[in-house]
Amino acid sequence: MSIRPKFLLATALMAALAPAFGEQGPTQIPAARQDFVAAMQRLHQHQPDLPDSAALQAYVIYDYLVAARLRRDLTLMPDERLDAAADGFLQAHVGKPVARAVRKDWLSSLAQRRRWDWFLPRSLDVVDAALVCDRLEARLATKDTQGLAAAALMRWLVPQKPPAECADVFTWLQQQGLLTPALAETRTRAALATDNAKLAREFAADVPLSLRAPLLQWSDLIESSRPVLNVLATHPSLSVEPEALAAGFDKLSRSDGGFALDILPRLLAREGIAPALQDRLRRAAALGAAYSRDSRAVAAFDEIPVAAADSPMLEWRVRAALWNGDYGRALAWIQAMPPALSAQPRWRYWHARAVAATAGAEAAASLFGEIATLRDYYGYLAADRLNQPYNLNVRPSPLDAAAQAALANEPGMVRAHELFDCDMSDEAASEWTTALEGADSRLRVQAAVLASHWGWYAESIATLAQTGEFDDIALRYPRPFLDAVNQAAKLAQLPQDWILAVMRQESLFRKDAVSRADARGLMQMMPATAVAVARRWHLSLPGREALFDPTSAVPLGAVYLRELLDRYREQLALGLAAYNGGPASIGRWLPGAPMDADVWIENIPYNETRGYVQHILEHIIAFASVRGAETPRLAVLLPQVEPPLPAL
């Protein structure tokens, strides 16, 4: 079940929660909400249910408590009575967000109990991988085999680890003689095409030995590219499939660009290397050299025919030229970009920079001026070059109080508001999305204003972005959790705007945010990192749930950023990059001599980290504007990036 432990924190917040809009009166809502949170907390702690009060049963999101109990009971004591209750609940809530998790769990329970009579007519549109397999098994068990083989083969060929629920139907395919060697090879190649070497080896077990060797070699090239490619370069008579060679070399280039360049001539000298494959290898080697800031990258890009160029190559060859200070080459390569690419603010800025470096500041002034009014990182850099003020193009959104009031009283919006106030953000977002289906941009902007009034900043900002409304800076840059931010700013000796900027980029002010890597809370701290930082700063050791508490999460994230800034001699660009990409990466990215920060940032090899640094710098400027303060200049925030200090 997905009943989050944040219910343990919710009861303490009850007194601070504002009344919601809805059918109940303002005096009833807080009591009903408190009963709801307490009931969900008991459920989460595996305590017996208590009788529900009349106020609770009338509560606008009471159905979510009913749904949570159904899902719990389906894991504990499923029977026909519970099946009837689940079926009745789903029929009463057709198409509503509250029914989605109940339906999935009930179908899974029916499948586990092999209640195919209930399962089959209710699973026609399932897309969940396990439920798709359950449906295939149900058809097999009920002898509904018309077209079953084709459907099962389609699932068998998917290059993903199959759910356990597919085992019986896959065994049936095998017994029918339908899993041919050719299909087994196709399946394995599909896994290899996704660079999933481990899965490919599992699939290769079904491939005859006579066909297996090249597939296993391909798998080895993905997992251990350097030694395998070294063998192939040393022994040119050894056979290798072109796609396998390309996949392995691409992997090597990304992990060890220097060695990839070293070994490239020997691989190109192998017999039978088609011109198209040679171009692919050269492209991979050049990109790998650029990612690793190898001085040979510019020459490597020169070896690639224009016909083999694509957008990543066109961009990275310019970055390599910038890193190596070759502004003449950078200018020529920018001018050779297709118009759709060269018209981006990024390349318009670097075009101007290259002109300034080759023809002088006066020649570049008009080029900088064309983008200096943009509200983005490159616009600010251009404005600095001209000593012009930044133009944030602030335009408040038009307010429509009547539209907001009408929205606030829509049943789906009432539920979304209450769910958000009960720390059920995922469920609240589902209700919000459903309630706004079909709404035009004008109404969505009013909804964004409404969400901001509720303190639901993540949804407010996301909704504005969906409408293309970016000019309402005050709405897009709220300043929540200021008590925690102030505490953190004093502790870490950092400007409040820097902390807010990191918070906005990391979590969009969602205190319950959890990443795929299990980074948690407003500042997206990994639990182990948070504990280590707390020890170093003599702070209370945070439990995993404490990172959802702003009073714990914000100071920990701030002092961690302070540590990184201390480590990199107050260089903000490096500290931010390390916060996102990790200190180990920064050590590999440092230049050998002082370098302009804009050049260094442009050459960050991780797209996510490069964008992260640039966006946070934009956020810092926006937060200063919202406060009415003088906006900081990137020219000041971004001094030259220094090389690493010599080892003592």
pLDDT digits (tens, 9 = 90+) for 510-519: 999 999 999 9
| Residues forming beta bridges with residue 399, ordered by sequence position | none
Determine the pLDDT at residue 324: 97
Residues 6+ apart with CB under 8 A from 209: none
pLDDT > 90 in the chain, percent = 92
As a whole number, mean pLDDT of residues 417-446 equals: 96
Question: Which of the residues 506, 563, 602, 618 is marked catalytic?
Answer: 506
Please give the DSSP secondary-structure letter assigned to residue 525: B
Q: Are 450 and 21 in contact (CB under 8 A)?
A: no
DSSP 343-394: TSHHHHHHHHHHHHHHH-HHHHHHHHHHHTTSSSHHHHHHHHHHTPPP----
At 520, phi and psi to the nearest 5? -130, 150
Burial 454-481 (b: 16+ CB within 10 A, else e): bebbbbbbbbbeebebeebbebbbbbbb
Question: What's the pLDDT tens digit per position in 224-248?
Answer: 999 999 999 999 999 999 999 999 9
Supply the pTM of this predicted model: 0.92
- At residue 128 the predicted structure's pLDDT band, cuts being 50, 70 and 90, is very high
Question: What's the pLDDT tens digit per position in 395-430?
Answer: 999 999 999 999 999 999 999 999 999 999 999 999
Question: What's the pLDDT tens digit per position in 169-205?
Answer: 999 999 999 999 999 999 999 999 999 999 999 999 9
- Residue 412's nearest CA partner among 431, 425, 437, 427 is 431
pLDDT > 70 in the chain, percent = 95
Which residue is it, tokens 């519970």? 82
Classify domain 482-637 by CATH number.
Answer: 1.10.530.10
Does 24 score more than 60 pLDDT? no
> Residue 427 CB: number of other CB atoms within 10 A?
24
- At residue 21 the predicted structure's pLDDT band, cuts being 50, 70 and 90, is very low
Determine the pLDDT at residue 644: 87
- The answer to whether residue 506 is catalytic is yes
Q: Are 571 and 641 in contact (CB under 8 A)?
A: yes
* Separation CA 320–CA 329 (nearest Å): 10
Does 306 score more than 90 pLDDT? no
Query: How wide is the angle at C-alpha 462 spanned by C-alphas 457 and 464, nearest 5°?
Result: 95
- At residue 308 the predicted structure's pLDDT band, cuts being 50, 70 and 90, is confident
Does 6 score more than 80 pLDDT? no
3-state helix, strand, coil in the chain (%, to 5): 70, 0, 30
| Residues forming beta bridges with residue 525, ordered by sequence position | 520
Question: What's the pLDDT tens digit per position in 377-395?
Answer: 999 999 999 999 999 999 9
Does 127 score more than 50 pLDDT? yes
Domain ranges of the chain: 7-148, 482-637
Determine the pLDDT at residue 22: 38
Tell me what the pLDDT averaged over the chain comes to: 94
Does 20 score more than 80 pLDDT? no
The more confidently predicted of residues 26 and 254 is 254
> Residue 543 CB: number of other CB atoms within 10 A?
14
Determine the pLDDT at residue 29: 62
